[in-house]
Structure 1
């Protein structure tokens, strides 16, 4: 990672393109953008109406000629032109003028582990549209590990679990590199969908998409643990009549519905551990697992992983910002590379 760190120190800004939120870090200014990855478009004229929080609130509440789109899916740009327009509006005219004044503007971006060439190219093209002359790509796992304070450059094994909206990434790191990793197509959205489907099938209730997060409603208290509340009240729309209705939901049944998508996360962690050298697994038994990402705050998920693996599980401070803070620390030169000098003959 020595060469990459030297290149990152020359960058002027960094972008973390997530399925749920987009974050932009500007060198010397810190985190300047932290908004949902959403944009509202007038389909008649093609005009951009709103981006970020306002566009998110418009979801499900717009007339037929206004469409809320998400140009980023699973950390991958699926609509380059719309992603560029969204980023321009999120940055604002003042910040964009300040960036354009930089000679040979350089940018950096977080990319999911094992992102394909097309996904990497789409990310690069998005930042080039902002005026970047050169774009450096950083693995989200490395950036998140740096952001939560892990000594990634040391010859010690450490496991990090990045819980995103669309994917969960699991990796074991050592000497600034990824020893073994796995990307699981299960995230916070899959858990939310499992709850929504459970309420639709068992209670014939449809939840509003944006008024409240169904996960936070159904999993109050201790969440996934059996010590949580036995029931909770949910408000939504009746499937048959279309009228507003409230039902009392058994949280034990909700926990069972959530187990199905979370089983994939446990399988991914087991696969990563089986692919690790024994010495690194011994380090993990002492150091444990670090959870980052917005979905790491799912109530009781850390206890579930602790019981399944038998290892300590800790949630990073402000886990949703670890990736952008890590790549920001690399831009600011706060991370010293490990220099391995060959032994003299």
Structure 2
């Protein structure tokens, strides 16, 4: 973590800028914003037409002069001006007026582990443009671990996997810090793309990119597990004729298609375990792996990771909002560091 708990308690808002969704936690209020990280812009006039869920629904359905942009990619702000405009509209007039009353507005923002200085500066500039006087950076892994209730401050190992839309972060934490971590450039988008390509190449079917994640369409019920349905019906558009049609898809084949991008995640887990001290690895045999992030709800992902690692895998209660709720807990002062007093220990001995 790049900031102390004392500094975080002075912050008024916490922002989680994700590739898929943007979330804002307001101190004393709770989770105030949870919307897709998308904005629709009129390219002729530069006017902002829609943000959030409405802009998300416009994707693939707009005329030429309207463009749907995503100012955040892989947890990194790639378009500062558009990110500021999107955040202003997502916050709304009432919340913006409430924040303007604070003369020394402090904000906290989550950044991916080992993000480069340019990415950190982009996140800071985005919130400074919204009126923040000071911006604190919080490691996404620490915030997510706090948000899902892991004993981060204890001298025991906690392993967490943050499954985002563009990247997956794997880490082992102990005593409030990251012992070893790995960032893999594979996320929910890559898995969805693997399913889309499989259906295109093997069934000549194109799936709509909107409304529901293609994977959720393809794998209902028990999804990717061996106990799930062996076949499933998919509705889409024929690649050659453009006519709507449906096909019967073998679930095992879809499972194999998804496994290809997931091998990178499994390799990342292996590297983290190899770099981790043996005593902490022994702790993980009992505590297992905690899955958080929007893509943690992928059907059968926990079972795949369990079979690959042999460790128990648990999905957080609210995996998609763990990061912002963790920052909110630190803002509200609900997280206390473990106090070590060597003088008291010496006297007691």
TM-score of the pair, normalised by structure 1: 0.98
- Structure 1 residue runs without a partner (length 5+): none
1:52 equivalent in alignment to 2:52 = yes
1:89 deviates by 0.1
Counterpart of 2:4 in 1: which secondary structure? helix
* 1:125-164 matched pairs, under 5 angstroms: 125-164=125-164
* Residue pairs, 1:207-246, within 5 angstroms: 207-246=207-246
For residue 104 of structure 1, what is the aligned residue in structure 2? 104
CA shift at 1:68, angstroms? 0.3
Residues of 1 paired with 2:259 and 2:165: CA distance? Answer: 17
2:320 aligns with 320
Instruction: Answer yes or no: is the 8 Å Cα contact 1:2–1:338 preserved in 2.
Output: no
Q: CA deviation at 1:244?
A: 1.0
Task: State the aligned residue count.
Answer: 345
C-alpha displacement of 1:3: 6.1
Paired residue secondary structure (2:143) = helix
1:1-345 aligned within 5 A: 4-343=4-343
How much has 1:232 moved relative to structure 2?
A: 0.9
Change (3 A) 1:109 1:3: closer
- Rounded to whole Å, the distance in 2 between the matches of 1:241 and 1:320 is 38
| Cα deviation code 1:166-210 (max 9, x no counterpart) | 011000000000000000011110000000000111111111110
CA contact (8 A) 2:3 2:138 kept: no
Q: Do the aligned partners of 2:75 and 2:112 also contact (CA within 8 Å) in 1?
A: yes
Q: Which range moves more in the overlay, 12-21 or 306-315?
A: 306-315
Secondary structure in 1 aligned to 2:336?
coil
**1:191 aligns to what SS in structure 2?**
helix
The alpha carbon displacement at 1:219 in A equals 1.4
Asked if the contact 1:160–1:171 (Cα under 8 Å) also holds between the matched residues in 2, the reply is yes
SS in 2 for 1:181: strand
Shift, 1:339, TM fit:
2.6
RMSD over aligned Cα atoms = 1.3
Give how far 1:103 is off.
Answer: 2.1
Deviation, 1:221, is 2.2
> Cα offset for 1:304?
1.0
SS of the aligned residue for 2:178 comes to strand
